[in-house]
Structure 1
Amino acid sequence: MALIEDVESLKRSPLPEVRETIAKRICDYYNHAVFEGEEEKIACDIIRLFAKDVELRVRKALAESLKRNPDIPHDVAIRLANDELDVAIPILEFSKVLTEGDLLEIIVSTENVGKLIAITKRDDVTNNMSSALVLKRSEEVCSSLFKNKTAQISEETLLIAAEEFAKSGDVVNSLINRGNLPIGVVEKMISFTTDELKSKIEKQLKYKSADSKDIAVETYERATLGLLSDEPIIDSSQKVRSEQNMTSSTVKSEQLARHLYSNKKLTSSIILRAICEGNLDFFEASLSVCSRIPLINVRALVRSAEKNAICSLFQRADFPISVADSICVILEFIKKEKYKGKAFDQNTKQRLIEYIETNKYDSTVPLMPYILALISSDITLSNITS
């Protein structure tokens, strides 16, 4: 009955304000599933007519009213999403009727920054969508995307943005505040950014907070490295090596490194965390696996602690060369402490921090604030999880 009354009202007074009021009312009924059967079909047809209305205010009211309804006709959602900005924004930001394919098509076809920003705020941004958004090369769009903590963003996409927008304060701040940046992304940012932003990056990395996402990643990496103290990991694709000159720790480290590598989980982040923990065996085994250089040769290069040798090795292993100076400092400390390849205890970690700060490496060695943050967060995490 209500639908028939609204249709009659439209016939009597087709003014824009009347159409807007009736559009809102029909949408409200539709959202609450008031219509059934034939009435529902008629309601959909009326909604389609409102989506073509010449008055912006009518279409805007329609989009705002239907933005959270997952059951509106797909063609209506597409029309509203491709409408003028004021109409499109609610649908682009909230409507679940739009598929990933729909959104990718809109991203590629539009240069309207407002529409792109609306898409960055969705709670279902996929890796493909974030990649397409970054490739629009808009500072405003990228800054908005990185502020969305629910957005899926691959390391490859982050690297593109870090290089493209390294001199943009808004984008850099959004990246830093996002947290849990891969070391390769940090390297890009510091390599290309201004001195002022570089100082800010290092400062914020040094004093970064351990939010829940950071703690989850750190816990996973530490748990993975903790496997080295348990039984060996047997990768069915690899035979267990048992040469006499390989210690139990070395064998376990190589097995774990190969296992992670074969499952594409041997990341720069976990390799870096290993050396920050003093886990030299795993660090060497990982570089050996990634570089395809025999472990005995890698060990000689690493334990020389010579920068040129370390840089050459990192390059072969596709490991960030920018951390070479920082790693050499840790390797010199390991030689000084005469550590044998297993992880540091907490007292040794504290001495490492004091060694770095006493020698002012934290202010003179590139990326050392980032390394210190890893070491310090590991100590903090031990307290949190113990």
Structure 2
Amino acid sequence: MADENIDGEQLLALARLRSDESRAELFAVMGDLFHDRNDVLSAQERALMQDILEKLIGEVARDVRRKLALRLADAPGLPRELAVLLANDEIDVATPILLRSAVLQDIDLIEVIRHRSRQHILTVAMRRDLSSAVSDALVETGDRDVIRTLLENQDSNISRVTLAYLVEQSKSVDEFQEPLVRRRDLPSELARRMVYWVAAALRQALLDRFDIDPATLDDRLEPVVKEEVREAAADAEADSAADVLARALGADRQLTPRLLLQTLRKGEIQLFEAMFAEMSGLRLRLITRIAYEPGGQGLAVVTRAMGLNREEFATIFLLTRRARVGQGGGAGFAPADLGRALEFFDRLSHAAAETVLTRWRRDPDYLFAIRSIEEGQEKKRA
């Protein structure tokens, strides 16, 4: 511990001596002063000590610098300029400052990330209470080990946008998956999406390694996935009256193609969509997309699988086009559109339509994840 009476002249005298022993003693004394007596140092004394340290820090042995960094890492009175010097030193000197010094600001850490070694960057990623700005800079490095270290650091603050980006990246970067799902701050919808990526990747791996029927595998895998995401996937919105009525009619076995057509003819579009979704077993969002798509192929698949005949399909096709125009969703359709849709309907077998509808009944997010994995495999083979 240094003498309570600080003599600037004595410090300068030690600074003028060029032996390793005198420099080590000087740094030890000033390290103690900054750490233990910073609250009683005058501005002049602090400036003198900082000036000496900054001028001599490159001339002392690395072991001396390392001991100084260890001593000052937790010192609240450490001058920021000195902390920056130590943070940019060799990694064994910089580590305690990068991990623990509270005087470093975001801009200091970002400069280290952009200009120092990979070891420096990894150390920053382990620092407690990282801001979202520093986390973004770490992610921008593109270094998988750095990003994984950041994700494993539960004390780091990562913005929702950056988390969404990393969830998307986790489709192809397996190392991100586990630390992402373990983060306490991962929003539920992103967690749900993560489960789908992992399940889709597992599905592809199983298909690559074993002779398994894809449909059979989906039948086994999908319930597990749905159970994992049930809480996160819960819809916060209240059911509409149309949804409630459609489910009640379905439960009473009163939903028929005739009632579906009557509802559509009356212009009760919301109820028609809810009934169509209930009868087909598809999500409402998916059925509304299929019902109004220009070509009508999806509509042909669903109606053929449901057992509707050619005339019923044509009626639904025409009335949904009219409803789409009435809602400002398009400028109508050409007569040839109906002809092409009917030609497709005629060629489509009931068995083939049922196979496609069964696939569409699977969770749309799950299917999207599967398609993403399959597309990635195709690109690798190309």
Q: CA deviation at 1:147?
A: 1.7
SS at match of 1:96: coil
For 1:195, the aligned partner's letter is: L
Matched, 1:307 2:282: yes
The match for 2:157 among 152, 160, 166 is 152
For 1:280, the aligned partner's letter is: D
Question: For the structure 1 residues 9 and 205, does the alpha-carbon distance in structure 2 shift closer, same or farther, using more than 3 Å as the test?
Answer: farther
CA–CA distance in 1 between the matches of 2:201 and 2:79? 49
For 2:95, the aligned partner's letter is: I
Question: For the structure 1 residues 296 and 148, does the alpha-carbon distance in structure 2 shift closer, same or farther, using more than 3 Å as the test?
Answer: farther
Matched, 1:142 2:147: yes
For 2:81, the aligned partner's letter is: D
1:190-227 per-residue CA deviation (whole Å, 9 max, x = no partner) reads 43774289999x9899789xxxxxxxxx9xxxxxxxxx
1:11-68 per-residue CA deviation (whole Å, 9 max, x = no partner) reads 55621x5423431331121122253353333222222234333532232222222222
8 Å contact 1:50–1:62 — kept in the other structure? no
CA–CA distance in 2 between the matches of 1:3 and 1:302? 86
The match for 1:22 among 4, 17, 26 is 26
The match for 2:130 among 119, 125, 131 is 125
CA–CA distance in 2 between the matches of 1:142 and 1:136? 8
The match for 1:40 among 36, 40, 46 is 46
8 Å contact 1:149–1:178 — kept in the other structure? yes
1:249-292 per-residue CA deviation (whole Å, 9 max, x = no partner) reads xxxxxxxxxxxxxxxxxxxx5xx3336xx95359x8xxxxxxxx
- Give unpaired runs (5+ residues) of structure 1: 209-217, 219-268, 285-293, 316-363, 369-386
CA–CA distance in 2 between the matches of 1:48 and 1:274? 60
8 Å contact 2:17–2:23 — kept in the other structure? no
Matched, 1:96 2:102: yes
1:84-137 per-residue CA deviation (whole Å, 9 max, x = no partner) reads 222222222222222222222332x23622212222222331222212211212
Greater alpha carbon shift after TM alignment, 34-43 vs 84-93: 34-43
1:232-252 per-residue CA deviation (whole Å, 9 max, x = no partner) reads xxxxxxxxxxxxxxxxxxxxx
SS at match of 1:273: coil
CA–CA distance in 2 between the matches of 1:314 and 1:56? 67
For 1:20, the aligned partner's letter is: A
SS at match of 1:178: coil
The match for 1:280 among 232, 235, 239 is 239
CA–CA distance in 1 between the matches of 2:155 and 2:183? 10
- Give unpaired runs (5+ residues) of structure 2: 207-220, 244-268, 291-361, 367-382
Question: For the structure 1 residues 187 and 64, does the alpha-carbon distance in structure 2 shift closer, same or farther, using more than 3 Å as the test?
Answer: same
For 1:183, the aligned partner's letter is: E
CA–CA distance in 2 between the matches of 1:310 and 1:90? 53
Give me the TM-score of the superposition, normalised by structure 2: 0.51
1:307-363 per-residue CA deviation (whole Å, 9 max, x = no partner) reads 375336699xxxxxxxxxxxxxxxxxxxxxxxxxxxxxxxxxxxxxxxxxxxxxxxx
CA–CA distance in 1 between the matches of 2:365 and 2:11? 67
CA–CA distance in 1 between the matches of 2:135 and 2:6? 44
CA–CA distance in 2 between the matches of 1:307 and 1:181? 26
8 Å contact 1:104–1:129 — kept in the other structure? yes
Partner residue of 1:116? 121
Question: For the structure 1 residues 162 and 12, does the alpha-carbon distance in structure 2 shift closer, same or farther, using more than 3 Å as the test?
Answer: same
CA–CA distance in 2 between the matches of 1:122 and 1:88? 12
1:68-92 per-residue CA deviation (whole Å, 9 max, x = no partner) reads 2333333222222222222222222
Question: For the structure 1 residues 43 and 3, does the alpha-carbon distance in structure 2 shift closer, same or farther, using more than 3 Å as the test?
Answer: farther
SS at match of 2:161: helix
Where do 1:171-186 residues align within 5 Å? 171-179=176-184, 180-186=186-192
Q: CA deviation at 1:145?
A: 0.9
CA–CA distance in 2 between the matches of 1:313 and 1:71? 64
8 Å contact 2:167–2:194 — kept in the other structure? yes
Give me the TM-score of the superposition, normalised by structure 1: 0.51
* Corresponding residue pairs, total: 246
For 2:71, the aligned partner's letter is: S
8 Å contact 2:88–2:116 — kept in the other structure? no
Question: For the structure 1 residues 365 and 306, does the alpha-carbon distance in structure 2 shift closer, same or farther, using more than 3 Å as the test?
Answer: closer
8 Å contact 2:195–2:228 — kept in the other structure? no
CA–CA distance in 2 between the matches of 1:3 and 1:170? 56
CA–CA distance in 2 between the matches of 1:80 and 1:122? 16
Larger-Rg structure = 2
Question: For the structure 1 residues 85 and 66, does the alpha-carbon distance in structure 2 shift closer, same or farther, using more than 3 Å as the test?
Answer: same
Question: For the structure 1 residues 204 and 273, does the alpha-carbon distance in structure 2 shift closer, same or farther, using more than 3 Å as the test?
Answer: closer
